[in-house]
Every structure is written in structure tokens, then in C-alpha cells.
């Protein structure tokens, strides 16, 4: 009986185990068909974003350091002739120093102050070229003077503008010295000797086969042209000297008239205050009338003297231009005569020129080059001792450390700008987008600052002190009062350079595709799940926002329509809670604009 119960228990246990194994197999073992169905990719989903309607703008974004205009120490050396003693201090503490002012006189010579980043590291003379020459010409233009084309070359027009600057301030320009004029005469003598030697060699040994009458006629033409050229050069020198004397005389008359007018005004002012300048008593009506007439006469005389001075300066410019033309034409005629003679002689030669003849021609060329160089270099110069460039003007004189009669040692005064500026740099690509006067916004989210500003300076050339060789200096000034907490801060500066000037339709760059015919299209998912292709024209690309302006030209498109930006199942994780695509995950998106540190 017991054996039978044991057998039944074993059978029951086996049945239970078999049922469990069958259930497990039914849950975990799949048929080939089931496995194939599960391995198929899911239906790809569309990643869409809505079409926006908004203002778009493209910006240059940089970082700018807010700082006070730096103070500058003004130091002077001796005058151009080496004498070092202060003879006049035209400005005092608290006064404003403007561009073109004479800041100090050393040995009776002026020291001008102009605006510029480069210091005056050399004297500026005719034919010199460099950024310091351009800086000088830019300053002359700001002062209303005409240096000709603003470039890197110190030309005759630059000379004329510098002369006017000096004369307007009541000083004689730095014109050629007797030593320089003597060097010019020596150069002209050397050239004449070299030409005579060449002419003799050509006549004696290198004109074989050339008829004597032809040779004599060619020589006569060259000699006549040479004489005409020499006369033109001499006439130019005489005319320019005479014109300079006229200008200097007119300037002297104008300065005298100015003094007389100032005196007459002071006398009348004293009398109107109740004290006659001559008697010390109260003036009578007749005496007041006499003083007024004296004042009016002196003012009229000053006006006439000023007009005469301006006329003399303009006449000097006209004479320079006219005689430059005479000299140029005479030089051309001389070159033609020489070339004609040389061509005739060369054509008649039976053999090559001798070494002696070649040397003689080289001597002529060298003498001509030396004379041309001296004629270019010797003229009105701007000595380094009479020129100071300051980074910013006008400036306020903070203190004066020297007195008349002192020998300058160290700074003679300190000046500073009273304003605040924002300094930064930009790349060459961004430099082309900026210009003086452009508006900007300075921001700092942590400080809650949003300050309008204006660009006041953009460097034309890259580099500079503490500036990378491929970067350009940019300076801005705030519009209105600057909050105290902005001082000495490094702010984000946004400078718009293009905008849509109103709301436009905009989509991410990833929504755009190109058709086979070169057109630009977007795919629009309609409410019923269908997708339409709409041809568009693109406009402003707002990189910072990651959007581009579009205008539909074939198909319907409106604000709120959803455009396709992707079809990858893996992008489903990049869809936000509103069903919009996260454009930062799209590899085709143009990168957002980075701040220019």
C-alpha cells in the first residue's frame, strides 16, 4: 500500500514539473517568424519645429573692458636745433587741451599736440612713408587742413598743410636750412659734370657713322631742354621763396592786428566798466564813442589782415602747383630730347659702348637719382621735438610741473581724459563689418546691466601695444551716464550690423534642403500627417539665434506650420516637451555665434 502511494506521488511530481517546463517554454521560446518580426526597424518618426515669426538680426559679439581715459605725462626735449629751455607755457592747470594746440614753447619753438596712438618717434620729412605719416595726415584733416590723399607718404601737399598749421599758430615752419640748400647746389653741380663727361665721351668715341650736323642738332636740343629745365627749377625756387615771404608778412600783419584788436577791446571794456584807460576817471559819452570807434576800426583791420593772410596762403598753394607743373613739363621735354639723342647715337653705333661710356652713364644716373632724392627730402619738415601724439583729445591739464626758464627734465605736465571708454579687439573678418558711429549694447546679466554705446574708433591696421598681430583695436563710449557698478568691468558687447527691420518667417538652418534645380526648399508636415515641399527664398542668417529668414515662393507656409528638421529615430530623444526639435542635436545646424574674447 505504501509502495503504491509512493508511485502516485512520483507521477504527480513529474506532471507538475512537465507543466512548469511547458509554461516556461511557451513564454520564452519564439518562432522564426516572431523573431523576424521583432528585428524589423520601427517606422521612422519626423522631427519638426514650428515656423516662427520674429525680428532677426546678425551681430558682432565681443568682450569690452570699461576703463577711464588714461592720464598721460607730456615730456619735451630740446628744440629742433638742440636748445633746451622753456620759453612759454600757453596752458594752465584745469584748462582743456585740444588737438592742434601748442602745449609748450621750447627755445621759442612750438610743441604741437595731435591725437594718435603712435608716439612721435622720428622727424617727419618729405618723401618719408609709414603709419606715423598717415597718423599726421589724419590729424591735419580733422583740423580742417588739406594734406592731399591720406596715405603713408609725406608729399608736397602734406608739407603745405604742415606749413599752414605752423602759420595759423603764429610760427614759421621748418623750411630748408642753408646747409641743405648748399647740398642741393652741390648735387646739381655733380649732375652737370657727369652729363658733360658723358656728352664728351659720346662725341669722341661712340658716335661713329652719325653725321656731324645731326649730332650737333641733337646736342643743341638737349642743351636747350636742359636750360629750360634748370630755369623752371630756379623759377620755382624763387617763386616759392617769394610766396613764403608774402605769407610770413601777412601772418605778421595779422598777429599785429590781433594784438591791436585785443587791446582796443580791453580798453573799451575797462571804460564801459566805469574807468577810462587813459585818465582813470569815469568816461564821458563822447570818450566811450571814441573808444568804440577805435574798437570797430581795429576789428575791421583784423578781419582784413586775416583775409589777406588766407589769400597769401592760397596763393602760395597755387604757385606751388603751377611751378610743379612747369618743372614736370620741362623735365619731360628734357627726357624726350635726351632719349632722341641716345636713340640716334645708339642707332649709328658700329660697336657696343665701351666700359668707360657705360660708367659715365651710370654716373649720370646716380647723380640724377641723388638730386631727385634731395629735392624730395629737403622741404618743410615736422621735427619730432615739436610734435606730441596723445591717444585721446581733448584732454584736461591735471598739473603743470615746469615753469618758464626751466630746462625740461622729465614730464612738464600731466593730462587726462575725463570720460569713460570701452576697449576691445576684433578679428579681420569682423573689422570689415564695423564703422565709427555704429550703435552697440553692453550687457552683464549678473549685474543686470544693459547700456547703449557707440563705436568711436576702429583701427585701420592690426596689432599694436598688447594687441595680437591679427587683431584690430575697437573703442566705444557709453551713451549717457554709465552706472558706477560698470566701471572696470569686462562686459559683453553686441554690435548689430544687419537686421530684418520687422518680423519675418524664420526656421532653423536644418530645415532647409536643396532641390535638383538649385532651389531652396522646406518640408512642411500638414495636420493630416502628409508632407509638402515648399520652395523658399532665404534672407538674413541670424547665426546667434540659429535661424534663417525665409519667404515662400511656391507653396503655402505660415507662422506655426511645422517644418521637418530630421527623420532619425535616434533623434526622438531630442524632442522637447512641446514636440519641438532640439536644434543643438542636429549635425547640419550652423554653429551659434561665439563671443569674441
239 domain-assigned: yes
Residues 301 and 263 in one domain: yes
Residues 236 and 341 in one domain: yes
Kindly report, residue by residue over 428-468, the tens digit of the pLDDT: 888 888 889 988 998 988 888 888 999 988 888 898 767 88
Kindly report, residue by residue over 99-137, the tens digit of the pLDDT: 999 999 999 999 999 999 999 999 999 888 999 999 999
Percentage with pLDDT > 90 across the chain: 45
Provide the H-helix boundaries in 378-465: 428-431
**Can you give the residue range of the structural domain that contains 24?**
2-31
Kindly report, residue by residue over 152-162, the tens digit of the pLDDT: 999 989 999 99
- Which residue, 240, 262, 228, 237, is CA-closest to 160? 240
432 domain-assigned: yes
Q: Domain of 529: which CATH number?
A: 2.40.420.20
Cβ-contact 457, 475 below 8 angstroms: yes
What's the residue count for the chain? 597
- Which residue, 421, 395, 415, is CA-closest to 72? 415
Provide the pLDDT for residue 187.
86
Instruction: Name the range with the highest mean pLDDT among 137-141, 527-531, 585-589.
Output: 137-141
278 domain-assigned: yes
From the centroid of its chain, how far is CA 456?
11
- Least confident stretch, 150-159, 286-295, 587-596: 587-596
Residues 270 and 310 in one domain: yes
Residues 319 and 246 in one domain: yes
Residue bearing the bigger pLDDT, 202 or 427: 427
Residues 327 and 226 in one domain: yes
For 84-240, strand residue ranges (E) read 86-88, 96-97, 102-106, 109-115
Residues 238 and 264 in one domain: yes
> All 3 cell numbers of residue 277?
584807460
- Flag whether pLDDT at 44 surpasses 80: no
- Least confident stretch, 25-29, 44-48, 95-99: 25-29
Q: How many CA atoms lie within 13 A of 477 on its CB side?
A: 13
Kindly report, residue by residue over 74-85, the tens digit of the pLDDT: 998 766 566 689
* End-of-domain residue from the set 475, 498, 521: 498
Provide the pLDDT for residue 41.
54
- Flag whether pLDDT at 10 surpasses 70: no
Q: Domain of 475: which CATH number?
A: 2.40.30.170
178 domain-assigned: no
Provide the pLDDT for residue 1.
46
Residues 483 and 579 in one domain: no
DSSP secondary-structure letter at 522?
E
Residues 473 and 539 in one domain: no
The residue-averaged pLDDT of 578-582 equals 44
136 domain-assigned: no
Kindly report, residue by residue over 141-194, the tens digit of the pLDDT: 999 999 999 999 999 899 999 999 999 999 999 988 788 778 888 988 999 998
pTM above 0.75, yes or no: no
Residues 475 and 522 in one domain: no
Residues 319 and 241 in one domain: yes
456 domain-assigned: yes
Number of domains composing the chain: 5
Provide the pLDDT for residue 145.
96
442 domain-assigned: yes
- Flag whether pLDDT at 6 surpasses 60: no
16 domain-assigned: yes
What is the gyration radius of the CA atoms in the chain, in angstroms? 43
130 CB-contact burial (10 Å; exposed 0-12 / middle 13-18 / buried 19+): middle
Residues 231 and 330 in one domain: yes
Residues 535 and 566 in one domain: yes
* End-of-domain residue from the set 348, 375, 393: 348
* End-of-domain residue from the set 301, 331, 348: 348
Kindly report, residue by residue over 231-264, the tens digit of the pLDDT: 989 998 998 999 899 999 999 999 999 999 999 9
Q: What is the mean pLDDT of the chain?
A: 83
Cβ-contact 432, 468 below 8 angstroms: no
User: Following CA atoms 219, 221, 223, 226 in sequence, which dihedral angle do they give, to the nearest 10 degrees?
Assistant: -140
Amino acid at each position: 500500500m505504501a509502495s503504491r502511494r509512493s508511485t502516485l506521488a512520483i507521477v504527480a511530481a513529474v506532471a507538475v514539473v512537465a507543466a512548469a517546463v511547458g509554461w516556461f517554454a511557451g513564454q520564452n521560446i519564439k518562432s522564426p517568424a516572431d523573431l523576424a518580426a521583432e528585428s524589423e526597424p520601427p517606422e521612422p518618426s519626423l522631427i519638426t519645429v514650428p515656423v516662427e515669426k520674429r525680428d532677426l538680426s546678425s551681430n558682432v559679439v565681443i568682450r569690452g573692458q570699461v576703463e577711464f581715459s588714461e592720464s598721460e605725462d607730456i615730456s619735451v626735449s630740446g628744440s629742433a636745433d638742440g636748445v633746451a629751455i622753456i620759453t612759454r607755457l600757453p596752458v594752465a592747470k584745469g584748462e582743456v587741451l585740444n588737438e592742434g594746440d601748442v602745449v609748450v614753447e621750447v627755445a621759442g619753438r612750438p610743441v604741437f599736440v595731435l591725437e594718435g596712438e603712435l608716439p612721435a618717434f622720428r622727424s617727419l620729412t618729405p618723401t618719408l612713408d609709414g603709419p606715423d605719416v598717415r597718423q599726421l595726415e589724419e590729424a591735419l584733416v580733422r583740423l580742417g587742413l588739406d594734406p592731399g590723399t591720406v596715405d603713408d607718404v609725406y608729399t608736397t601737399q602734406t608739407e603745405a598743410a604742415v606749413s599752414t598749421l605752423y602759420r595759423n599758430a603764429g610760427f614759421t615752419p621748418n623750411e630748408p636750412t642753408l646747409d641743405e640748400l648748399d647740398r642741393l647746389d652741390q648735387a646739381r653741380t655733380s649732375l652737370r659734370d657727369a652729363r658733360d663727361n658723358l656728352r664728351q665721351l659720346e662725341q669722341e668715341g661712340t658716335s661713329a657713322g652719325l653725321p656731324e650736323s645731326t649730332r650737333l642738332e641733337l646736342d643743341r636740343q638737349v642743351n636747350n631742354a636742359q636750360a629750360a629745365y634748370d630755369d623752371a627749377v630756379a623759377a620755382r625756387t624763387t617763386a616759392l621763396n617769394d610766396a613764403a615771404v608774402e605769407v610770413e608778412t601777412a601772418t605778421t600783419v595779422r598777429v599785429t592786428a590781433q594784438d591791436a584788436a585785443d587791446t582796443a577791446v580791453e580798453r573799451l571794456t575797462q571804460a564801459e566798466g566805469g574807468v577810462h584807460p587813459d585818465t582813470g576817471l569815469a568816461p564821458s559819452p563822447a570818450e566811450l564813442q571814441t573808444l568804440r570807434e577805435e574798437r570797430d576800426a581795429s576789428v575791421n583791420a583784423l578781419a582784413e589782415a586775416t583775409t589777406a593772410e588766407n589769400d597769401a596762403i592760397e596763393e602760395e598753394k597755387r604757385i606751388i602747383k603751377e611751378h610743379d607743373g612747369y618743372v614736370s613739363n620741362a623735365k619731360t621735354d628734357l627726357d624726350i630730347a635726351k632719349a632722341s639723342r641716345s636713340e640716334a647715337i645708339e642707332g649709328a653705333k658700329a660697336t657696343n659702348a665701351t666700359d668707360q661710356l657705360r660708367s659715365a652713364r651710370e654716373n649720370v644716373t646716380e647723380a640724377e637719382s641723388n638730386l631727385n632724392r634731395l629735392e624730395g627730402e629737403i622741404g618743410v619738415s615736422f621735427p619730432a621735438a615739436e610734435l606730441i601724439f596723445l591717444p585721446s583729445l581733448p584732454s584736461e591739464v591735471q598739473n603743470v610741473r615746469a615753469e618758464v626758464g626751466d630746462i625740461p627734465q622729465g614730464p612738464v605736465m600731466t593730462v587726462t581724459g575725463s570720460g569713460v571708454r570701452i576697449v576691445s579687439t576684433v578679428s579681420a573678418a569682423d573689422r570689415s563689418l564695423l564703422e565709427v558711429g555704429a550703435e552697440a549694447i553692453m550687457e552683464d546679466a549678473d549685474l543686470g546691466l544693459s547700456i547703449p554705446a557707440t563705436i568711436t574708433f576702429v583701427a585701420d591696421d592690426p596689432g599694436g601695444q598688447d594687441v595680437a598681430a591679427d587683431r584690430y583695436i575697437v573703442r566705444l563710449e557709453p551713451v549717457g551716464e554709465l552706472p558706477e557698478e560698470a566701471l572696470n568691468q569686462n562686459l559683453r558687447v553686441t554690435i548689430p550690423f544687419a537686421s530684418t527691420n520687422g518680423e519675418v518667417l524664420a526656421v532653423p538652418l536644418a530645415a532647409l534642403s536643396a532641390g535638383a534645380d538649385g532651389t531652396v526648399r522646406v518640408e512642411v508636415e500638414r495636420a493630416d500627417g502628409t508632407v509638402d515641399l515648399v520652395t523658399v527664398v532665404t534672407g538674413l542668417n541670424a547665426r546667434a539665434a540659429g535661424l534663417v529668414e525665409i519667404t515662400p515662393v511656391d507653396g503655402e507656409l505660415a507662422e506655426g506650420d511645422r517644418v521637418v528638421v530630421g527623420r532619425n529615430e535616434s533623434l526622438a530623444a531630442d524632442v522637447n516637451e512641446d514636440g519641438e526639435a532640439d536644434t543643438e542635436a542636429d549635425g547640419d545646424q550652423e554653429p551659434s555665434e561665439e563671443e569674441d574674447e
